[in-house]
Structure formats: structure tokens, C-alpha cells
């Protein structure tokens, strides 16, 4: 299988660079110079913070919403949303109709099981929830909820 990965430029100093997805083709150990998916240019300059493959060339991307850098604490504003992309064609298919997620973007927020994705998010001033996304029909279903007021929901794991 091919390997796809994304760059995340906000490493504490670079807030202008965008995210790009790259590919390493199956059976090789070098970047595929015929493939570059400039994610940020296709998503209003937002950056891809994480990516999870869901099958049939599609993946879920956690997308960071840029913070207002005029605020002194801009670096700690980590609001994000989730989109579906086609990694094979380099197309953003759609932004998922979910609330904005607040808190930490570098977390394990998605697991894939039995052809469905389970997405954990922490909505500001509301209960957090785990949402089920079925890529076969693009249906989102709200599942388990958590109490409101958490700063972070850090991990969603399957044991």
C-alpha cells in the first residue's frame, strides 16, 4: 500500500507555511515526485494536523483554524474541524458537518473500525461527543456524549 503523510508547520515558529500531503509509493522508500497535494491552498490556508485513512482513497483530516495572532495567547488557540479528502486525486471532498473542536489538535481523535470512522470532539460550551461517520453513505451519527467544560479530550482508543 502507498503511504500518505502531511506536514504540520506550526512547530513553534512557522505560522505562515501551509500543509502539504506527500506519498511514498508501495515498494519504494522515497517520496513520489509525481505527487504533491497542497492541502492548505485548497482549504483557505488552514493546515492539516492529522490524517486517518478510511478506505477507497478517502481520508479524514483534522484541520486547524488559524488563530488571531494579534492576541498574545494565539499559540494556545487550537480550534479545528474535520474534512474528507481524496488522497489519490488531491481533492478536498467536503468539510464534515460537525461542531468546531476546541483544545489540542495533536491527539488521537479518530479510530477506524468495520469501515466506519469514530470522531471524538470537544465542542466549546457544550458537551463533547463521539460521532460515527459512515463513508459508504456519508452519514454522521452522534454517539456517546461527555459533560461540557473540559479543556481537552485527549485520546480515543480501541482496546
Instruction: Report all structural domains of the chain as residue ranges with CATH numbers, in order of start.
Output: 3-145 (2.130.10.10)
Could you give the angle at the alpha carbon of 139 between the alpha carbons of 88 and 118, nearest 5°?
75
> Which CA distances in Å does 118 have to 39, 57, 73?
23, 18, 31
Q: Binning pLDDT at 50, 70 and 90, where does residue 146 land?
A: confident
Could you give the angle at the alpha carbon of 111 between the alpha carbons of 110 and 113, nearest 5°?
145
Q: Given phi > 0 = left and psi -120 to 50 = alpha, else beta, which region is 35?
A: beta
Render pLDDT for 76-113 as a digit per residue (tens, 0 to 9): 667 889 999 999 999 999 999 999 888 766 678 899 99
Render pLDDT for 134-144 as a digit per residue (tens, 0 to 9): 999 999 999 99
Closest CA to 121 of 31, 49, 57, 68: 49
Residue 3: Cβ within 10 Å count: 14
Predicted TM-score (pTM) of the model is: 0.89
Three-class secondary structure assignment of 126-149: CCCEEEEEECCCCEEEEEEECCCC
Calpha distance 158→129 (Å, rounded): 16
Amino acid at each position: 500500500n502507498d503511504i500518505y503523510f502531511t506536514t504540520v508547520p506550526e512547530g513553534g515558529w512557522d505560522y505562515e507555511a501551509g500543509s502539504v500531503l506527500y506519498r511514498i509509493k508501495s515498494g519504494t522508500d522515497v517520496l513520489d515526485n509525481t505527487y504533491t497535494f497542497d492541502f492548505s491552498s485548497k482549504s483557505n490556508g488552514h493546515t492539516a494536523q492529522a490524517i486517518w485513512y478510511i478506505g477507497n482513497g478517502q481520508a479524514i483530516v483534522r484541520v486547524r483554524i488559524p488563530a488571531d495572532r494579534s492576541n498574545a495567547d494565539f499559540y494556545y488557540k487550537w480550534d479545528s474541524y474535520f474534512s474528507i479528502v481524496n488522497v489519490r486525486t488531491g481533492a478536498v471532498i467536503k468539510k464534515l458537518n460537525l461542531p468546531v473542536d476546541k483544545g489540542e489538535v495533536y491527539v488521537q481523535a479518530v479510530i477506524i473500525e468495520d469501515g466506519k470512522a469514530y470522531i471524538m470532539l470537544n465542542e466549546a460550551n457544550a458537551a463533547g461527543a463521539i460521532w460515527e461517520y459512515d463513508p459508504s453513505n456519508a452519514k454522521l451519527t452522534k454517539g456517546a456524549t461527555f459533560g461540557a467544560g473540559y479543556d481537552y479530550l485527549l485520546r480515543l482508543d480501541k482496546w
